[in-house]
Amino acid sequence: MSILLTCRGLSKSYGARPLFENLTFGLADGERTGLIGPNGAGKSTLLKILAGAETPDCGELSLRRGLRIGYLSQQSTYADIPAASTVRQEIVKALSDIGLEPYEIEMRADTGMAQAGFTNPDRPVRELSGGWRKRLAILSQVLRRPDLLLLDEPTNHLDLEGVLWLENFMPMPVLEAFSRAETASPMSKPEATSGMPSMRLARYCRALSLLLSGSSIRRPSCSAFRMLLMAAPC
């Protein structure tokens, strides 16, 4: 299993408030990892650093040569999209800068829309619900076929059907951020008010990392994570 990226001694603060300090970890090809932590632990900031959208205060980030990273932020819901922009147009736009021929873009877009359940490719994106906009944003990143996909709170806005779709849709190594949600959901890689249930998350991810106290990443087994959640206070 080859290493995609490694982090050594990453630290980040905003003003006098440290988000995390001296984080050291790696991600390998074939992993599907859930990053779990409370709100404000620095999960979103860490994903932005891994995606190259922010820089750490100190530490080293090493990427495998030629590594292609996809990144989906919490805010990827098409809030400022033109009124006439359609589902197909948004997917085609997402595929337009990765060196594909026009016929390849059309084939990949058609296949992806069918897999994601979009039955009307010409529907304006503004008419979609929040859950379907989130599904479109995820699909647009997946169809680019990155070597590593970073998803920040990917289940936000998704209903149960959308979560079940997401569980089975990820073909590449993924790092997802979730926060601890109300019903013993997670404590990180993703989300605080709309997190997927903890037991489902533990089954969905092949590895789980806990970002706690701003200074440690632990990687318990999924069974150990279940025990941790059941023992933790609500």
Name the one residue in this structure whose structure tokens are 């790092």: 175
Measured from the Cβ of residue 183, the count of other Cβ atoms closer than 10 Å reads 11
Q: Do residues 10 and 24 lie in contact, with contact meaning Cβ atoms separated by under 8 Å?
A: yes
Q: Which segment of 27-41, 61-75, 182-196 scores lowest on mean pLDDT?
A: 182-196
CA 21 – CA 50 distance, rounded (Å): 15
Determine the length of the chain.
234
The residue that leads in pLDDT, 41 or 123, is 123
| Per-residue confidence (pLDDT) for residue 55, from 0 to 100 | 95
The band of 118, judged by pLDDT with boundaries at 50, 70 and 90, is: very high
Sign (positive/negative) of CA torsion 213, 218, 222, 224?
negative
Domain boundaries, the chain: 82-145
Q: What is the pTM of this model?
A: 0.80
Percent of the chain past pLDDT 70, that is, above it, reads 71
**Highest mean pLDDT out of 11-15, 140-144, 224-228:** 140-144
Question: Two tokens at 75?
Answer: 């805010």
